[in-house]
Amino acid sequence: METRKALEGAIHVERSALAQDLAELSEAQWATSSLCERWTVEEVTAHLTAGAGTGMWRWLLSMLAARFDPDLHNDRRLAQHRGATPDETLRRFREVVTGPAGPTGHTAAWLGEIVVHSEDIRRPLGLVRTPPVATTTAVARFFAGRDFTVASRTVIAGLRVEATDGPFTTGSGEPLRGPTLSLVMGMAGRAAACEDLEGDGAAILRARLLSASADRLRRHRGAGRAR
C-alpha cells in the first residue's frame, strides 16, 4: 500500500467500518471512556470528524489561535464538530466517511489516525475489528519512520520490533513481538496494547508509555491552571 490513492481508500474503509459499529451503541456506550486520554467515545468520534472536515488553512489558523497548543486546538475543533446528541455526532461523522484524508498531505498519518482512534473506541467497549494487514503495516512503517503527532519512533528506540501476523519489522535490540495492530497502538502511546505483546521489549515499552502518559497529565493540569 504505497500510493496515496490506496491509503485514502483504506481510510474510507476504516471510517465506514467504524460508523457501522457506532450505529449500534447505546447512550451509555457513547459516554464510555476511550483509550485516548481524557476523551469519551463520542468525543473521539467528534475528533475524527474534525480531522476529516478541516481544511489545511483552517487547521493552521486553529493551531495559530491555540498558540500551537495541540490539546487546546483539538479540544476546540472537537467541540465544533460534536453534536448535541450522540446521534447527531454520528451523523456528522458519516458525512465525512468518504471525505478528505486530513488537513495535510501526510496521508499515512491520517490512516494511522482512523486506525488508532477506532481501536481507542472499540477496545473499551469489547468490540473487535482487525483491519487488513496491509493497512496496519502501512501505519506501522510510517510510525516507525518518524515522530509526527505521536512519539512513535522514539518509544521503540533500542527495540527489535516484529509483527507476528505480517511483514513489518524494524529496529534492533530487545525483542518486541505481536500483532501489527497492537504494535501500532503501542507506538501510538496506548499502554493497554502491551497486553498483546511479547518479548523483553514489551515491559520496556510499557514503562516508557506509562511515564509519557504521566508527563502529559501533569502538563495538561498545568496548562488548565494557566488558562
Domain locations along the chain: 4-125, 133-226
What stretches of the chain show up as alpha helix (H) in DSSP? 4-22, 27-30, 41-53, 56-65, 70-81, 86-94, 107-125, 133-145, 152-155, 180-187, 200-226
What is the average pLDDT score of the chain?
Answer: 91
Residue the block writes with cell 496506548: 190
Average pLDDT over residues 164-169: 98
Per mean pLDDT, which range of 33-37, 169-173, 182-186 is the poorest? 33-37
Domain 133-226: give its CATH code: 3.30.1050
> Residue 227: what pLDDT?
46
pLDDT at 201 over 70: yes
pLDDT band at 72 (very low <50, low <70, confident <90, very high): low
Q: How far apart are CA 180 and CA 186, in angstroms?
A: 10
The pLDDT tens digits for 81-106 are 899 999 999 999 999 999 999 888 89
66 with 73: CB under 8 angstroms? Answer: yes
pLDDT at 17 over 90: yes
> Residue 129: what pLDDT?
97
CATH assignment of 4-125, among 1.20.120.450, 3.20.20.80, 3.40.50.300, 2.40.30.110 = 1.20.120.450
pLDDT band at 225 (very low <50, low <70, confident <90, very high): very low
